[in-house]
Amino acid sequence: MVRKSLVLVLALSAVSLFAQASNVERALRDLLLGRQPAPAQDNKSAGQEKPAPAAMATPPQQAPAAQPERRPRTADLLGGLLSFVAEPPQTLEEERNIGRTVAGGLLGAAPLVRDDRLQRYVNLVGRWVALQSERPDLDWHFGVIDSEDINAFAMPGGYVFVTKGLYRQLNSEGELAGVLGHEIGHVIRKHHLRMMQQTRALADLGAVVGRRMEGGSAIASNFMGNFWEAFARGLDKDAEYEADRIGMVLAARAGYDAYGLPTVLQEIGHVSASDSRVAFLFRTHPHPDDRFAKLSEAVGNRLDGLPEGKTLSDRFYRIR
Partner 1 sequence: MTSHRYVRHALLSVVLLLASPLWAASGTMLRDDQLRTAASATAAVTAQVPRGANVEVLARQGGWTQIRVGGRTGWVRMLSVRATESTQRDVGGELAGVIGLGTRQADPSRVVSVAGVRGLNEQDLKAARFDAQELERLDRYVVGRAEALAYAREGGLAARTLDYLPAPAQASRQSNPWEEPQW
- SS3 of residue 12 by DSSP: helix
| Comparison of 193 and 259: residue with beta carbon closer to partner 1 | 259
Pairwise CA distance, residues 268 & 318, whole Å: 18
Please work out, in degrees rounded to the nearest 5, the angle formed at the alpha carbon of residue 274 by the alpha carbons of 267 and 228.
Answer: 85
Strands of the sheet with 159-163, listed across from one edge: 141-145, 159-163, 152-155
Cβ atoms 75, 33 nearer than 8 A: no
- In angstroms, what is the minimal distance from the CB of 21 to partner 1? 28
Instruction: Kindly tell me which residue out of 26, 225, 286, 287 binds partner 1, with binding defined by CB under 8 A.
Output: 225
Q: How far is the CB of 13 from partner 1 (least distance, A)?
A: 25
Number of other residues whose CB lies within 10 A of the CB of residue 91: 19
Binding range to partner 1, per CB under 8 A, among 3-11, 32-40, 198-206, 264-272: 264-272
Using CB under 8 A as the binding rule, the residues of this chain from 46 to 105 that contact partner 1 are: 46, 49-54, 56-58, 60-65, 67, 75, 100-101, 103-105
Which one of 4-12, 31-39, 80-88, 311-319 is the stretch in contact with partner 1 (CB under 8 A)? 311-319
Tell the smallest beta-carbon distance from residue 32 to partner 1 (Å).
Answer: 26
Minimum CB distance to partner 1 smaller for 89 or for 261:
261
Separation between Cα atoms, residue 144 and residue 115, nearest integer Å:
9
Q: Which is nearer to partner 1, 32 or 75 (CB)?
A: 75
List, in order, residues 6 or more apart from 201 with CB less than 8 Å away: 223, 226, 227, 229, 230
Binding status of residue 140 toward partner 1 by CB under 8 A = yes
Specify the residue, 25 or 289, whose C-beta has the smaller distance to partner 1. 289
Burial class (CB in 10 A: 0-12, 13-18, 19+), 132: buried
The least distance separating partner 1 from the CB of residue 272, rounded to whole angstroms, comes to 10
Cα(163)–Cα(143) distance, integer angstroms: 8
Q: Which residue in 85, 131, 162, 243 binds partner 1 (CB under 8 A)? A: 131
Kindly write out the interface string for residues 8-37 of this chain, putting x where it contacts partner 1 by CB under 8 A and - elsewhere. ------------------------------
Other C-beta atoms lying within 10 Å of the C-beta of residue 174: 29
Nearer to partner 1, 89 or 172 (CB): 172
**Contact, 194 vs 89, CB < 8 A?**
no
Q: Is 132 in the site for partner 1 (CB under 8 A)?
A: yes
Q: Does 236 bind partner 1 (CB under 8 A)?
A: no
CB-based contact 146:113 (threshold 8 Å)? yes
Q: Output the smallest distance, CB 310 to partner 1, in A.
A: 6
Which of 8, 27, 139, 198 forms a contact with partner 1 (CB under 8 A)? 139
Among 35, 211, 237, 302, binds partner 1 (CB under 8 A): 302
- Cβ nearer to partner 1, comparing 26 with 79: 79
Among 45, 91, 135, 141, binds partner 1 (CB under 8 A): 141
> Residue 154 in 3-state DSSP?
strand
Contact call for residue 229 and partner 1 (CB under 8 A): yes
Phi/psi for 154 (5° steps) reads -125, 140
Rule CB under 8 A: say whether 135 interacts with partner 1. Answer: no
Cβ atoms 129, 176 nearer than 8 A: no
Please state the length of the chain: 320
Q: How far apart are the first and last CA of the chain?
A: 63
* Interactions with partner 1, residue window 150-209 (CB under 8 A): 151, 163, 165, 168-169, 171-173
